[in-house]
Structure formats: C-alpha cells, structure tokens
Amino acid sequence: MIKNTSRMLGILGASIAMAFSANALAQSPIVVKFSHVVADKTPKGQGALKFKEVAEKLLPGKVEVQVFANSQLFGDAKEMEALLLGDVQMIAPSLSKFDRYTKKLQLFDLPFLFDDMAAVDRFQQSDQGKALLNSMTDRGLKGLAYWHNGLKQLSTNRDKLTRPEDVKGLKFRIQASDVLEAQFRQLGANPQKLAFSEVYQALQTGVVDGQENTWSNIYSQKFHEVQKTIANTNHGVIDYMVVTNAKWWDGLPDDVRQGLEQAMAEATKYANDEAAKLNERDRQLIVDANKAKVQTLTKEDVAAWRAAMEPVWKKFEDGIGADLIEAAQKANS
C-alpha cells in the first residue's frame, strides 16, 4: 500500500515537472544570436544593437537577441559555418567574404566600380541588387538586408603613398576575396588573406606592411597607430549582407518572422544613416590623433590608381556576369 502510494506520488511528481517544463518551453523566448567581427561603435556594430532594441520591443517575451561583437563568439573563419550549423542565427559578413557561396557578390569588390556610397545604395535597392539577397538560398543562406559601411582607404607602414608604384613589393592584408587578391597582384604587391581579428597584430609585427579598410574600421581597430600613411583612395567599398540560416528563418512562427523583418528594416535604415556620419567622425579622429599621416590625393593620383587596378574587372566578368556589372555602373549616374 505504502509502496503503491509512493509510486503514484512519484509518477504524479514527474508529470507535474513535465508540465512545468513544457510550459516554460512554450514561454521561453526564441534566442537570436547575432555574431559579428567589428566594434560596437561602427556602422555594423550600431546596426546590430539597433536590431536587438527594436526586435525585443516589437516581440516582447517572444524573442531575445544576443549580440556578440569583435569576433568574440566566431571570427571570419568560422561564422558562416556556425550559421549553417545553427550555432548562431544572424551574421553580417562584408560582401567580400561570400566567395565560397556565390561568385555574383564579387561584383562589390571590383575596384572603382562605384563613384560614391549613394551609387552603392542605388544599386543595392535596384531589382538586380535585391535579387542578390536570394542568390545563396540554395546554399542555406538567406540575405535579409544590405548594410553600409563605406569606401576603402589604403594604408601602409611607408612615408610615401600617392601612386601605385609606392606599393610595389609590399605585403597587404586582404579579406578572403579572390578579387582583392587579384587587385593587389595587379599592383605588384603581395596580398595575404587574414581574418579581421588578426590584422592589428599583423600590422604591428610587420607580418604585413599595409591594408585597406574604411575609416571606421581603421579607427576602431587602431590600425592608424601601427601604420605610417593612409591614402584617401576611396578605391572600393566595404558593405555587408545580413544573412540568416534559411531553414531556421522559414521555420519561425509567422508573427515572429514578421516582427524580425520589421526590426531588420528599422535597423537597416538606422545603420545606413549612421554609416556616413561614423566614417566621417572617425576620419577626423584619425587626423586629430596625428599618428598616421592622412594623405589626400590629387585627381591625377586617383586616376593612376584606377588605371592600375581596373584590369582586374576583365578577369571576373564571366563569373559575375557582364549584365550585373553594367547594372551597377548605371547606378553611378
């Protein structure tokens, strides 16, 4: 009798515990891990924080967004894999880092393709630009938005940096992009693919002599403290695609997916409005810091860089598609 009662109590206890945990499960928020490699005070860092703020406001108790900046969770080498494995739900790699998934996005790395960020924006918002957001769904990656950073500048540990011949024989850190590799080879320099988190040390120890990046990345990573000259080349763009795991995204409850879509739209607007301001602020902070010299270039200097780099286009035209290159060029007018 006592035995039976205690067995029944045991069964009762177990079912109460199960009911409680099922309840807790039903109520526990969906966790969205957003991992990226830059500092909080950059366009992408600000965009990710804004996305968290808006998503949690629109979906209270339903969603918790955890932002991991500065490669603290996953760096360049691992973040794409982590997304596909479901270890994170959102990342925003630069458009240069999708080589393995599609050749189409190589478009954005073609040197001197866009005259300014307004042209980049016009192209991204065009039908062809928007279509690229879905160019990797067969590989499990869904593009949710483009986020701006800005135009790239070139820096080295040398005093002279006005013309292409000044970088001959120098070693440059590049992002994992075949176009960028070809661009530096075209200049007679030696490119080396390195993760973003490794760049400062590589510059400091002389593993590489130079790099290319936006003002906000240069300032927030202190590259200007370990470089002698930064030339205002504006020779290319660093922008991002916010991507998610397509299967995870499609499996979300409709209201959550819609809320996240809205949060992404608001964060995108915010990040893209901030990008130009942050880059201009950081350009000025670099000038004020007076560590690296900021080299302004004449029209003739810029024309020389353009002429030296442009032959790269031909090499990648087939993979990208001549029609896409043409559409991007149209955005300049």
Determine the angle formed by the axes of helices 254-289 and 117-125, rounding to 10 degrees: 170
Cα separation, 19 vs 102, whole angstroms:
46
Residue closest to ligand LMR when measured from CB atoms? 94
How many C-beta atoms surround the C-beta of residue 25 within 10 A? 8
The CB-of-98 to ligand LMR minimum distance in angstroms stands at 11
Structure tokens at 303: 């024309």
- 């986020």: which residue's tokens? 147
Q: Is residue 316 a contact partner of residue 96, using CB atoms and an 8 Å limit?
A: no
Which residue, 191 or 259, has its beta carbon nearer to ligand LMR?
191
The CB-of-153 to ligand LMR minimum distance in angstroms stands at 12
Cα separation, 208 vs 190, whole angstroms:
9
Which residue, 44 or 52, has its beta carbon nearer to ligand LMR?
44
Which residue, 162 or 227, has its beta carbon nearer to ligand LMR?
227
Q: Which residues pair with 67 in a beta bridge?
A: 34
Which residue, 44 or 228, has its beta carbon nearer to ligand LMR?
44
Which residue, 171 or 259, has its beta carbon nearer to ligand LMR?
171
The CB-of-272 to ligand LMR minimum distance in angstroms stands at 14
Residues that bind ligand LMR (CB under 6 A): 37-38, 44, 94, 149, 175, 196, 213, 217, 238
The CB-of-50 to ligand LMR minimum distance in angstroms stands at 17
Cα separation, 160 vs 129, whole angstroms:
38
The CB-of-14 to ligand LMR minimum distance in angstroms stands at 49
Sequence-separated (6 or more) residues with CB below 8 Å from residue 267: 47, 48, 50, 51, 54, 145
The CB-of-99 to ligand LMR minimum distance in angstroms stands at 13
259: burial class by Cβ within 10 Å (0-12, 13-18, 19+)?
A: buried
Which residue, 176 or 182, has its beta carbon nearer to ligand LMR?
176
